[in-house]
Amino acid sequence: MEVLYVLHFITRHVLTCRNPIRAIRGYDSGGRGMDFWHDMRDWLGGFPYEYATAGEVFRYVRENFGYELEHLDTHDGHGCNEFVFRRPGDQES
């Protein structure tokens, strides 16, 4: 289904003299935070979110906010991962 949708999208843009690559790269999901590919899967009935591994979440929070990981509970794809972060220097209550 994804291949057919993308072919339709490209064909529609080419026939109307618009650049499909530019449209995909500059895609705006209306503030929902998804790129073209994830939004397309959402429309077609797939996952309506962009998956992030536990490691990606940990690195993002550490690099962007300086928090340290205190506890991580992962569920191997069968539930939500749970994170506890702490600001460096904060004392436990």
In a domain, residue 49? The reply is no
The letter for the amino acid at 6 is V
Q: Which two tokens stand for residue 3?
A: 């291949």
Write out pLDDT tens, residues 22-74: 998 888 766 767 788 888 887 787 665 667 888 999 999 999 999 999 999 98
Q: Which two tokens stand for residue 21?
A: 């690559």
pTM exceeds 0.75 for this model: no
In a domain, residue 70? The reply is yes
10 Å Cβ neighbour count for 67? 17
Range of 65's domain?
54-86
What SS3 state is found at 74? coil
Q: Do residues 11 and 37 share a domain?
A: yes
In a domain, residue 91? The reply is no
What SS3 state is found at 78? coil
Q: Do residues 68 and 39 share a domain?
A: no
